[in-house]
């Protein structure tokens, strides 16, 4: 087959036989390989291998069929999330173990969301496995096997330049959204989402997308008898992992995504006068407060906060629309700064 490729002069496309378009191995991880897409610099091919690891790679095996079921589960769940308005890097599944994805650079951070105490959380705080948490929580871990993926605070991530505060708030909120949509889907078919790990990547134009994988390898899921359908079977040598991953996928395929209601989200848009710009309402408040005896006050600036509720998850598209709202109506870009808070 002949494809249009680019010769030396980008203005004049030349014909390049497909066989000559090489697929380059870009990255080889513990269980996945990433290849260039010969047809586009903006896409990558992610291959799920049959390798399975635990304990930061200390325990490793090859289980026939694991790559395919992990790939299929990721395709299914990423497509489901996309259908709910959550942006992922998935374009489409190519064949058994390969996904065609948007090219992103992955943040060196794992976002873990928990509904129930288990794994490292239960060990760290001496809790009984299975203790439900009053609300879901998000934890961050540094992706570094040599350091054994230590937990990392939001401040440390920002100070070390791995992500900005805004990017982290975005990832945290999307992780909670993903938790809601997965938990509700699984609940329909009697499954309980205990915890899971998400990774995010940034595209060249700064969009942050859910990336990597969601499968039995990256979640804990219990059935009605509290049997695991996930990698705990491998961690604890407790049964046929590939069969369990297949059962997990079969069961979630039985759920009806349309029956999962869209959740309302709240965004706070803070609008503040730029420094150096006069702020008469703040000045009036300052004078009045000083008159009342609060003489420690040096300056008061008064801005506005808009609490905006939307019927779509937080996504790069929504953030772009909020920026547009700011420019068009909520703020005066010449005199005011805006900041979207997603806490």
* Least distance from ligand UDP to the Cβ atom of residue 113, Å: 8
Residues near ligand UDP (CB under 6 A) are 110, 112, 118-121, 149, 195-197, 218-220, 231
* Least distance from ligand UDP to the Cβ atom of residue 148, Å: 9
- By beta-carbon proximity to ligand UDP, the closer residue of 38 and 108 is 108
* Least distance from ligand UDP to the Cβ atom of residue 218, Å: 4
Residue number of the CB atom closest to ligand UDP? 119
Q: What is the dihedral of CA 320, 324, 325, 326, to 10 degrees?
A: 100
Which alpha helices (DSSP H) does the chain contain, by range? 66-83, 119-125, 154-159, 165-188, 232-235, 241-253, 280-291, 316-325
Distance of alpha carbon 49 from alpha carbon 63, whole angstroms? 9
* Least distance from ligand UDP to the Cβ atom of residue 161, Å: 22
- By beta-carbon proximity to ligand UDP, the closer residue of 195 and 265 is 195
* Least distance from ligand UDP to the Cβ atom of residue 145, Å: 9
The Cβ of residue 173 has, within 10 Å, a number of other Cβ atoms equal to 18
* Least distance from ligand UDP to the Cβ atom of residue 299, Å: 45
* Least distance from ligand UDP to the Cβ atom of residue 18, Å: 36
Residue showing tokens 């205990």: 194
Residues contacting residue 127 through CB under 8 Å, at least 6 positions apart: 117, 121
In DSSP terms, which residues pair with 210 in a beta bridge?
A: 88, 200
* Least distance from ligand UDP to the Cβ atom of residue 258, Å: 27
Distance of alpha carbon 311 from alpha carbon 260, whole angstroms? 13
Q: DSSP for 243-290?
A: HHHHHHHHHHHTS-GGGSPPPPEEEEEEEEEPTTS--HHHHHHHHHHH
- By beta-carbon proximity to ligand UDP, the closer residue of 95 and 238 is 238
Distance of alpha carbon 52 from alpha carbon 234, whole angstroms? 8
Token digits of residue 240: 């046929």
Distance of alpha carbon 221 from alpha carbon 191, whole angstroms? 7
- By beta-carbon proximity to ligand UDP, the closer residue of 172 and 286 is 172
The Cβ of residue 129 has, within 10 Å, a number of other Cβ atoms equal to 15
- By beta-carbon proximity to ligand UDP, the closer residue of 199 and 265 is 199
- By beta-carbon proximity to ligand UDP, the closer residue of 72 and 110 is 110
Distance of alpha carbon 4 from alpha carbon 37, whole angstroms? 14
- By beta-carbon proximity to ligand UDP, the closer residue of 77 and 219 is 219
- By beta-carbon proximity to ligand UDP, the closer residue of 74 and 97 is 74
């Amino acid at each position: 087959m002949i494809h249009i490729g680019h010769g030396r002069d980008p203005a004049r496309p030349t014909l390049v036989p497909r066989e000559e378009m090489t697929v380059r191995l870009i990255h080889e991880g513990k269980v996945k390989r990433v290849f260039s897409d010969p047809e586009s610099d903006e896409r990558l091919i992610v291959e799920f291998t049959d390798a399975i690891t635990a304990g930061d790679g200390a325990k490793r095996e090859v289980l026939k069929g694991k790559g395919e079921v992990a790939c299929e589960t990721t395709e299914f769940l990423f497509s489901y999330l996309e259908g709910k308005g959550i942006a992922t890097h998935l374009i489409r599944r190519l064949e058994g173990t390969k996904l065609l994805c948007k090219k992103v650079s992955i943040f060196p951070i794992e976002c873990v969301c928990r509904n129930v105490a288990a794994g490292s959380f239960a060990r760290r705080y001496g809790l009984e496995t299975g203790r439900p948490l009053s609300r879901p929580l998000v934890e961050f871990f540094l992706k570094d096997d040599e350091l054994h993926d230590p937990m990392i605070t939001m401040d440390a991530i920002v100070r070390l330049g791995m992500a900005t505060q805004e990017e982290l708030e975005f990832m945290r909120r999307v992780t909670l959204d993903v938790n809601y949509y997965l938990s509700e889907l699984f609940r329909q078919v009697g499954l309980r989402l205990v915890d899971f790990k998400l990774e995010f990547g940034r595209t060249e134009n700064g969009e942050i997308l859910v990336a990597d994988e969601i499968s039995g390898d990256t979640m804990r899921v219990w059935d009605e008898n509290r049997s695991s359908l996930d990698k705990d079977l491998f961690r604890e040598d407790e049964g046929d992992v590939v069969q369990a991953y297949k059962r997990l996928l079969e069961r979630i395929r039985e759920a009806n995504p349309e029956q999962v209601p869209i959740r309302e989200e709240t965004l706070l848009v803070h609008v503040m006068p730029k420094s150096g710009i006069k702020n008469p309402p703040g000045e009036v408040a300052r004078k009045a407060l000083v008159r009342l005896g609060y003489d420690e006050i040096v300056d008061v600036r008064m801005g506005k906060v808009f609490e905006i509720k939307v019927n779509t998850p937080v996504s790069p598209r929504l953030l772009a629309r909020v920026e547009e709202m700011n420019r068009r109506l909520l703020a005066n870009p010449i005199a005011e700064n805006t900041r979207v808070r997603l806490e």
